[in-house]
Amino acid sequence: MRLSYAVHGAIWIAVYLLFILAPLFALLAGTWPPARDFWTEFAVALGYSGLAMMGLQIGLTARFRYVTKPWGEDVIYHFHRQISLVAAGLIVTHAVILTAGRPETLLPRNMLQAPWSAYFAIVSIVALIALVVAALWRVRLKISYETWHLSHIVLAVVAIAAGIAHMVGSGVYLVDPWKRALWIGLTIFWIGLLLYVRVVKPLFMLRRPYRVAEVRRERGDTSTLVMRPDGHPGFRFTPGQFGWLTLWGRPFKITGHPFSFSSSAEAADGRVEMTIRNLGDFTSAIHNVSEGQRVFLDGPYGAFTIGNPADMHVLIAGGIGVTPMMSMLRSLADRRDRRPVTLLYGSRDWDSITFREELEALQARLNLTVVHVLANPPDGWTGEQGFITADLFKRHLPPPYTSHEYFICGPNVMMDAIERALGSMRVPLSKYHSERYSFA
Ligand SMILES: Cc1cc2nc3c(=O)[nH]c(=O)nc-3n(C[C@H](O)[C@H](O)[C@H](O)COP(=O)(O)OP(=O)(O)OC[C@H]3O[C@@H](n4cnc5c(N)ncnc54)[C@H](O)[C@@H]3O)c2cc1C
């Protein structure tokens, strides 16, 4: 299983590199333009590579299940963020080197007489810089997620389209028709990816709607949506995976919200549940959802799944990070799986522990130990309190710690601390799996 994931992953990395490097190496074949100085040629190479990387970003966030499977969606989004910075860096460096070599081009008199391709370069770079600034400092700039997401797509399309126009206008390397054909092909591919994400995929979702069967209040300002497929069999998921939910309107809306499935993966009728904590505009409106309402689900996604049979599974949840764990536990119970499981579960206080009663009941059906860790324990509390630390692990888990399989989901600070604790206990990276609830 792991090996096939590794091979699968290696193939996609090779395809990715091919798409990035092939356009660059293709420039070196066929007819060459008259030689120019090293820095000009170097800057041009940076520009071509940066543009090829930018175009492929659309593919990275296109939610191709088959592509993201070996890594999980959060790793892909992290890669998208990092590699976009590299691409933007290459393009800006390309412009800086070219203008540093000819500073006179920046004089207002010369700028007015510049060829049209130079204007496209300016539009592309301004859009790119705005894109990076908004992505890095969205929260500090107080831009809502929805506004940011829409502007992100618009700015990316403008930056790439203007970049292509600039390349065609000043493309001394594109004299050969086949090189032009290569770039036209790439552009069509990028447009195809965009159409797939924004039109084809939503059309498929439109034909496979779900109906809300129940809205259940849970402890901790949280509600569970129970959804049934409407006129189709639904999809199968692996416990720990998540889907994108569109509650109001059609799936063509630009922003769906990601939520883990909290129900058992064994439901025969395609029913799925998502358990949602009130944390912002969208999540606070869950109680307005009515039974029978039509909703759309895009899924399943994610690699945060129990697959490897191990001696012992350790689930570490903070707050609403318990939802994928709940799906794992409910599925194990339905499968009558008796492997030992320990759930270390951090909550604010005793009353806000989501699924508290059901976890108690599950202990009778599973070989399950639940350790509650409370930030604000009630008077007389003798259980764990504060943060989940390496010492806490050692109190509740049998050694050797390196032979257990760990699953972590919760606030970023908690996850960072736990990953450090596991590192200090010499647990190898392959033994722990994380799901971060922040893609952006
Ligand atoms: C893989 C994954 C699984 C998740 N599972 C659950 C779950 O089971 N239960 C649960 O309560 N929450 C879950 N979340 C978090 C949930 O998606 C956000 O809390 C929710 O989208 C916030 O929306 P809002 O408009 O209410 O809040 P806002 O105040 O608008 O947003 C709060 C923060 O949530 C993030 N966010 C908002 N909208 C989106 C979006 N469309 N896509 C990605 N991130 C967004 C942003 O970082 C934002 O700053 C999960 C997140 C991820 C990435």
CA–CA distance, 405 with 1 (Å, rounded to integer) = 15
User: Residue 35 contacts by C-beta under 8 Å, 6 or more apart in sequence?
Assistant: 41
Mean per-residue pLDDT, 161-175: 83
The pLDDT, as a whole number, for residue 56 is 84
For 84-132, what is each residue's pLDDT tens digit? 999 999 999 999 999 987 888 777 777 778 888 889 999 999 999 999 9
- The vertex-331 CA angle with 343 and 74, nearest 5°, equals 70
pLDDT at 65 over 80: no
Going by C-alpha positions, the residue among 305, 301, 261 that lies closest to residue 76 is 301
The pLDDT, as a whole number, for residue 1 is 47
- The vertex-404 CA angle with 377 and 324, nearest 5°, equals 60
For 123-156, what is each residue's pLDDT tens digit? 999 999 999 999 999 989 999 888 998 999 999 9
User: Residue 337 contacts by C-beta under 8 Å, 6 or more apart in sequence?
Assistant: 366
pLDDT at 3 over 60: no
pLDDT at 377 over 50: yes
For 389-402, what is each residue's pLDDT tens digit? 888 988 999 888 99
Question: Ligand 1 centroid to 193 CA: how many Å?
Answer: 25
pLDDT at 230 over 90: yes
User: Which residues, judged by CB distance below 6 Å to any ligand atom, belong to the binding site of ligand 1?
Assistant: 145, 242, 255, 257-260, 275-277, 279-283, 320, 323, 435, 437-440
- Look at ligand 1, atom 4, and give the residue with the nearest C-alpha: 259
Tokens, residue 146: 């929805």
Q: Which atom of ligand 1 is nearest to the CA of 285?
A: 26
For 314-357, what is each residue's pLDDT tens digit? 999 999 999 999 999 999 999 998 889 999 999 999 999 999 99
- The partner residues of 244 in beta bridges, in order of sequence, read 258, 298
Question: Ligand 1 centroid to 223 CA: how many Å?
Answer: 14
The pLDDT, as a whole number, for residue 17 is 85
Transcribe 164-213 into DSSP letters: HHHHHHH-TT--SHHHHHHHHHHHHHHHHHHHIIIIIHHHHHHTS-EEEE
- The vertex-174 CA angle with 41 and 172, nearest 5°, equals 45
Distances (CA, A) of 90 to 61, 95, 210: 21, 9, 44
User: Binning pLDDT at 50, 70 and 90, where does residue 181 land?
Assistant: confident
Question: Ligand 1 centroid to 222 CA: how many Å?
Answer: 13
Question: Ligand 1 centroid to 262 CA: how many Å?
Answer: 15
